[in-house]
Amino acid sequence: MSNTSNTSGSQSSSNSSKGKQKDAADEDVPGPMEVLRAARTQLAELTGMEAETVSSFERTEDGWNLEVEVLEVSRVPDTMSLLASYEVSLSPQGELTGYRRVRRYERGRSDTNRPRGR
């Protein structure tokens, strides 16, 4: 049993020393889930429309680029509701720096004219 406790003690000291080597700048950079949540919240505040989903997500040299699907007009039946895709740009810290609507469509229709890979 003493070997087990020594092993776990040495592992925890090894892990804690690795954690201390983190660069202070790394602590300011949010993770992907934090960025997604922040983008959805900020876009909803600016547009007054709730983000339904994030359909694309990419980290770039300048920060983050996302494509967010937003419900613009609710209709009955729901398949006739109007949705829109927004390109959203964020700083490396997750602050929204810009957005623009790139397309608008009915929920129940497929987009056959849209280029593949996007």
pTM: predicted TM-score of the whole model, two decimal places: 0.69
* pLDDT tens track for 71-110: 999 999 999 999 999 999 999 999 999 999 999 999 988 6
* pLDDT tens track for 52-67: 999 999 999 999 999 9
E-assigned strand segments in the chain: 51-60, 63-73, 82-90, 96-106
Domains of the chain: 29-106 (3.10.450.630)
* pLDDT tens track for 21-33: 445 555 678 999 9
Cβ neighbours of residue 101 under 8 Å, at least 6 residues apart?
Answer: 84, 85, 86
